Structure 1
């Protein structure tokens, strides 16, 4: 047989072959299931209109939604407001009237019918908690806010952001630090210039009016040689000094000098929290906690502009310095071993300082300084494990957040744990100053996610944020206000979905004079509205 190849003939043959295959397939019986079989039959139900009547109301009140096609299914469907079942009062061809559930929070309406769900407009539940609509923050920051400090009737914020209210631009730097008024307006009253080149996690004021900032950064306003912590002047410019260096090029005299941070000390890693304390014998000191294992300070007398040697000391997770950065060689030091203590066998995730300068640490560790410490430990004023803080067996899993209330001398712990010192504790527990569980506070079950932060207000109520969908089997999407005993009062839990994590709470007043809280952190939504990581929330007490 003779074979030949011709492009035109090949194309024709290929076309014939494909046509034959297609025709054969058409004549064959379909094998397998019809991909469109089993689809839901159209039920003729749909919400119409953007708003119910009224658009808001109290639990127990009536509200009318516009819905088509529901009358034919009367008695065969369920109606919900933010996933809480509502009692149906009447149905027509175009409307449905329901009673607002007694424990509902703000959210969308929905109808469940024949295995299908139809989503409707949002209904706002009235109550004591709401956004302060007169607060001037609109866009907020473009990344989380980690900490703040009061300044000139407003606040200075620090975090990982590089913009606030879209004010950053040519010649205007908002690099991890910004000043705002008490109403949330951008202010040009600080001299931070280019700011930090990495995240600022903590800010403290010193007794002389200067500031300590710490986090994960190594330069501030282009002055390098910083290791996670530095000192700022009262106007938030970096506290710097011109230092004489060894000049290896005498014909270039400028190489004999360099401008460096006055605060000469830091750590190789991240400073999670920093605390300022006053002691009678050592004066003002700074304790830093975080993910690091070494402290370092520069030998400027042996340095050149290009090479600056350091004195490096192994000191894991906790170190204390004076206000110039010099390490306190007596704090957290094991005299018998002649070295600094071991730290924990896991990460430190949060910390607080008590009124008597002790530090309580929480995290993923189960030992600290070689002693048993199940996810929580207190260090005394010398940096040693404090045996008076008796938490027994501690938590049975990671503790990720801790807040201290000095008035009641209690701690709120949040984490992945389900028990504390052998007793049931559903992700949140309150313990007394001596480490014992506060039996007056009991938390119910969270569903659909976990809490990630809790803070006790002066009123005794407790703000909780997280990823949860329900609390005690009631829909509460990511935000919750508990009574002092862990129960819930409906009028303080009327707001809708929250997304993110709160990092800090400041109690203040709203523009109308009502009690309010300033919330900062990673806050993407509050009450289903976009939030820019800083919001002010009214919490009326009537």
Structure 2
């Protein structure tokens, strides 16, 4: 009897389980089909480009029945609706719109729409030869004589010229290659980061980076002096064996990477970067077998050094004559240095001390490299300063990983007065959702910031933003679609911006491959009113 009752209970339990887990109609009771509220036609926009305030018609379906919940967005900015039917909607291009895809939202549904180019006052010059450009990063550009420019970086060709442009080239004012510069022979074996003009009538150049030869000449240690035609400034020396050897005219350089290069009025050369030693080759040695031998004499200098015009070590600059080495200097990397008009130098990076004294990531140095105590930055930056730039009035704009400077909340960007104190008249709001790497100024005082970010404040922006002098977003210089980085870019797309003298235009160089969704291989010309 007990066994019978147990079997009945077991069968009842199995029946109950079956009833709970199997649907009688085979459908999932939790599945709900959600149909799209609207549709937008592919290429369904007319016209395909226009200015802020222009009217644009978008074609699709379902607009009228969803009009109370429908929003049209130009790169995230909501447009005012002028009129609509079920198949068309007429809107005005909103202020702060930028080139990119138009989108729509209906409640929580999001719809991608067609591409629309917003025409503005900060525009790419499509007649400039950006399409070919450089086949690798451009790290620096400087104006030189006759309206030309010297460009350096990690490229091997420029504008498709059929001979090598190994990381150093000179271009004409119109962007074409200057074929009188360094024909077939110029260049070095790795990245060149900076360039400068040498004072004097000979119009020579200095280039710096992380290389160890130039034109195949060895022991050219991260710094090379170039003749005006692009060839290495060199000498012939006689070795102990009686053979001759071509060597650089500069006596020495550094072992490591130069991040910043400054040439003083007297020809003195200031270098900062990621290096520890000044090196000078000694060619007058022989091996135990009586063969010619070379030795690199080295002196510790800790990330900063001043050289004499001939490349010798200047022992009057932050140097310990007793220990025969550079003084302690910064206890971290110098990311950026600025040579000031009075001969002093501003340095910034990830260091917290200079010659043993606390200086949180920024300091001003006297002309002899000693710390200037009149520069008072208080608590300084709470994280690394990546870059800085000096305005014409002496104020300094800083960018980096910091959130506070001198105890003031300033997310990733701040402006300080010449004495190091935060300038309260500058306010960039909540800033970007990424990081800035380059800062430049326009003649009107506007600030150009570039880096790796997709949003600034409440606006969607691709790696570039133009601000007013007070930190607010410029109302008309931000309609372009921004910059697209090359696949191998490791930092912000713009490395340097130079204004073209006497013109309302500028040249941008860096690691980008597109500007405003147009091909632009690491160089572009921008025009503005």
State the TM bucket, normalised to the shorter chain.
Answer: 0.7 to 0.9
SS for the counterpart of 1:162 is coil
Select 2:482's aligned residue among 497, 507, 512. 497
CA distance in 2, matches of 1:448, 1:312: 44
- Whether the 8 Å CA contact 2:101–2:114 is kept in 1: the answer is yes
Corresponding position of 1:176: 167
Corresponding position of 1:456: 441
Root-mean-square deviation (CA), in Å? 2.5
Alignment of 1:383 onto 2:369: yes
Cα offsets for 1:479-502 (capped at 9, x unmatched): 211111111232122112323432
More moved, 112-121 vs 125-134: 112-121
Distance 1:336 1:245, change over 3 A: closer
Select 1:293's aligned residue among 267, 276, 300. 276
CA distance in 2, matches of 1:270, 1:333: 20
Corresponding position of 1:186: 177
CA distance in 1, matches of 2:22, 2:69: 40
Corresponding position of 2:245: 258
Alignment of 1:228 onto 2:222: yes
Corresponding position of 1:159: 153
Alignment of 1:470 onto 2:455: yes
Q: Deviation at 1:294? A: 0.7
Distance 1:445 1:525, change over 3 A: farther
- Whether the 8 Å CA contact 1:446–1:469 is kept in 2: the answer is no
SS for the counterpart of 1:494 is coil
- Whether the 8 Å CA contact 1:446–1:468 is kept in 2: the answer is no
More moved, 69-78 vs 438-447: 69-78
Distance 1:326 1:476, change over 3 A: same
Q: Deviation at 1:64? A: 0.5
SS for the counterpart of 2:512 is strand
Corresponding position of 2:205: 211
5+ long unaligned stretches in structure 1 = 1-27, 248-252
SS for the counterpart of 2:187 is coil
Q: How does 1:400-419 map to 2 (within 5 A)?
A: 400-405=386-391, 407-419=392-404
More moved, 476-485 vs 218-227: 476-485
- Whether the 8 Å CA contact 2:165–2:187 is kept in 1: the answer is yes
Q: Deviation at 1:456? A: 2.2
Select 2:318's aligned residue among 332, 337, 343. 332
SS for the counterpart of 1:64 is strand
CA distance in 1, matches of 2:407, 2:210: 37
SS for the counterpart of 2:476 is helix
- Whether the 8 Å CA contact 1:303–1:309 is kept in 2: the answer is no
More moved, 88-97 vs 372-381: 88-97
Distance 1:110 1:377, change over 3 A: same
Corresponding position of 1:349: 335
Q: Deviation at 1:41? A: 3.7
Distance 1:507 1:51, change over 3 A: farther
- Whether the 8 Å CA contact 2:59–2:87 is kept in 1: the answer is yes
Distance 1:485 1:221, change over 3 A: same
Q: How does 1:189-204 map to 2 (within 5 A)?
A: 189-191=180-182, 193-204=185-196
SS for the counterpart of 1:357 is coil
Cα offsets for 1:68-102 (capped at 9, x unmatched): 34444332332211111223333334322122222
Select 1:117's aligned residue among 110, 114, 118. 110
Cα offsets for 1:326-355 (capped at 9, x unmatched): 101121113576642112222111111111
Alignment of 1:398 onto 2:384: yes
Q: Deviation at 1:58? A: 3.1
Q: How does 1:41-56 map to 2 (within 5 A)?
A: 41-43=34-36, 45-50=38-43, 52-56=45-49
SS for the counterpart of 2:135 is coil
Number of aligned positions between the proteins: 493
- Whether the 8 Å CA contact 1:90–1:96 is kept in 2: the answer is yes
Q: TM-score, normalised by structure 2?
A: 0.87
Q: Deviation at 1:47? A: 2.5
- Whether the 8 Å CA contact 1:194–1:222 is kept in 2: the answer is no
More moved, 338-347 vs 158-167: 338-347
CA distance in 1, matches of 2:442, 2:334: 25
Corresponding position of 2:129: 136
Corresponding position of 1:315: 301
SS for the counterpart of 1:52 is strand
Cα offsets for 1:291-336 (capped at 9, x unmatched): 0111111222225886211221111101111122110112111357
SS for the counterpart of 1:324 is coil
Distance 1:242 1:51, change over 3 A: farther
More moved, 221-230 vs 451-460: 451-460
Cα offsets for 1:40-78 (capped at 9, x unmatched): 644274322426222233333321112134444332332
Corresponding position of 2:17: none
More moved, 362-371 vs 99-108: 99-108
SS for the counterpart of 2:493 is strand
